[in-house]
Amino acid sequence: MSAEGVTEPGQLSTAEIISLCDRHLLRNVGRLPLAFTRGKGLKLWDAEGKVYLDFVAGIATCAFGHAPDFMAETLARQARVLVHVSNLFYTEPMARLAEFLTRASGLDRVFFSNSGAEANEAALKMARKHGSDKSDGRRIRIVSARNSFHGRTMGAISITGQENLHAGFHPLLPGVTFVPFGDLAELDRAVDETVCCVFLEPIQGEGGVEPAPPGYLARAAEIARSRGALLVLDEVQTGLGRTGTDFAFRHFGVRPDILTLGKALGCGYPVAATLSTDSAGEALGPGSHSTTLGGAPLATALALELVTRILEPSFLARVSETGSYFLGRLQELAAKHPDAVQEARGLGLMLGLKLRIPAAPIAQKLVERGFIVNATAGTVLRFVPPLIVTPAEIDLLVDALSAILAAEGQAE
């Protein structure tokens, strides 16, 4: 302990780190009993020096893996110039990042915040204000999808289609209707002239890596716009290279009225964005919405460096190629272990393996073998590795998973 009674960094074991956290942190998150102290590329090291290959990447966040040198250099360079002045003023990094994102997406306006949930909150306020302004307050309802996930703030959780996440937080935001993801008939019935927006993910991440069916998003846009509503796409997880394109909406032949981004935008640094058309964005006039740290020079300078690298065509092509290879290996697993695996699915490097057995015990066995993966939706293993993952690293994971599934089959 230091003179002030605070433990010095870099001197604790895994057990000591966990004990310290358990004494002082809220118990609102169920954490695995792992404590990481450093990382590089796909590798993470725990406090005892054991190495793991990370196929979660901070939940689809660390696009360039852990501790890329250029991130430290960019942060240090900007920190020596200007860190924060609040959004009461203009700064060059904010201006340049806004220009880059609007040109890349084809949208017109940007609001910067700090997290994906905040980006979705801004989208909700924008859509509801837009609908209200255009209808004398009648067009305020929101249509979302079952099994969706949009964040943990009150607005975001209100449009998240998972009832277990609502427990204890009622009353939620009123005026929200949930429809089955991919069901156009139900969507058509739900959207009328009282709806301000249809709020969807191109691929449901927490919902089990479930891509939207072909034609669904394009038709959803038609249904919404024909009734005066907006299409909002939550690309906090799917955006910025994750699916092998700049934005996942490219795969589906549609451009949204509002788009939300996070995760890879900062690769671990807190920064997010809500993009919109001019028409949608005009709803949020001066004083209608803000955040103290949104668009700070440190965040936007880093994000500009990151997205410039991610959206380089050669980089996206490599992500697409590696994703195809990874999906192919998972499909081989499905064919090899049909009793345990139902299907492999996803786009780019956002992939899921739907099991016929609970996924959490399989994920735990992978952790024991040195691979960090995520179990979601009960029976799905989610793979969202750094976008720099190599075929050789994929092979190591798939071979380990194959051995685990084989052992599971023998145990039965």
Q: What amino acid positions are annotated as catalytic residues? A: 149, 234, 263
Helix (H) or strand (E) holding 231: strand 230-234
Provide the b/e sequence for 240-271 (b: ≥16 CB within 10 Å).
Answer: bbbbbbbbbbebbebbbbbbbbbbbbbbbbeb
The two three-digit tokens of residue 347, written as one number: 């786009």
Q: How many CB atoms lie within 10 A of CB 216?
A: 19
The two three-digit tokens of residue 339, written as one number: 């009793």
Q: Are 333 and 405 in contact (CB under 8 A)?
A: yes
- Burial tier of 187 (Cβ tally within 10 Å: 0-12, 13-18, 19+): buried
- Burial tier of 144 (Cβ tally within 10 Å: 0-12, 13-18, 19+): buried
Q: What is the 3-state secondary structure (H, E, C) of 50-118?
A: CEEEECCHHHHCCCCCECCHHHHHHHHHHHCCCCCCCCCCCCHHHHHHHHHHHHHHCCCEEEEECCHHH
What is the C-alpha separation between 168 and 26, in angstroms, rounded? 17
Q: Which residues, other chains included, contact 120 with Cβ-Cβ below 8 Å and sequence gap of 6+? A: 150, 151, 153, 155, 156, 159, 199, 234, 236, 260, 274
